Amino acid sequence: MTDLWPDAEVGEMISDGTALSFEAASTITKGDLVYLSADMTVNKCTATTQHALGVALTTVVSGEFCSVCTRGVVKVTAGDTIARGEAVQTDADAQAISLADGSATYDQTEVPDRIARAVGVALQSFGSGDTGLIHVTKA
């Protein structure tokens, strides 16, 4: 695994941004992409169809409060190859992957879901398992 930004840890913000605090519905590891599973409650992403809210900045267990980067530059792990400048979403392991294109007969009904799945933009190219930076743009 190549570390494309060795000056930071996975799940660390390297810029000014917005970090919000949510109750954890389960164990969440720093650097996981998370989604809102209930009001003001987050859970680790476990499906590509989930609308990731941001990146966990702390490791927590259920019931604890988790800081989440909802806007800013944060280091994550790639679940697949991502090209610099591509929109990113979550995979089933709470890692960043390229935003899926949708169906072959892509139509306007898919647009809101595609927008909601996008968590940010890759600031560098990643290989699967590499770590690098994304700009989270949810808040």
Task: List pLDDT tens digits, range 55-114.
Answer: 999 999 999 999 999 999 999 999 999 999 999 999 999 999 999 876 556 667 777 888
**Domain residues for 80?**
18-137
Kindly state the helix (H) or strand (E) to which residue 122 belongs, with its residue range. Answer: strand 120-122
The per-residue pLDDT for 102 is 61
Domains contained in the chain, number: 1
Q: Does a structural domain hold residue 3? A: no
The per-residue pLDDT for 1 is 65
- Tell me the HSE value of 14 on the side-chain side, using a 13 A CA sphere: 17
Q: Does a structural domain hold residue 43? A: yes
The per-residue pLDDT for 3 is 78
Q: Does a structural domain hold residue 109? A: yes
Full DSSP string of 83-115 = -TT-EEEE-TTS-EEEPP---TT--GGGHHHHH
Q: Does a structural domain hold residue 5? A: no
0.85 exceeded by pTM: yes
Q: What is the CATH number of the domain that holds 86?
A: 2.40.300.10
Q: Does a structural domain hold residue 13? A: no
1-44 confidence digits (pLDDT tens): 677 778 899 999 999 999 999 999 999 999 999 999 999 999 99
Q: Does a structural domain hold residue 68? A: yes
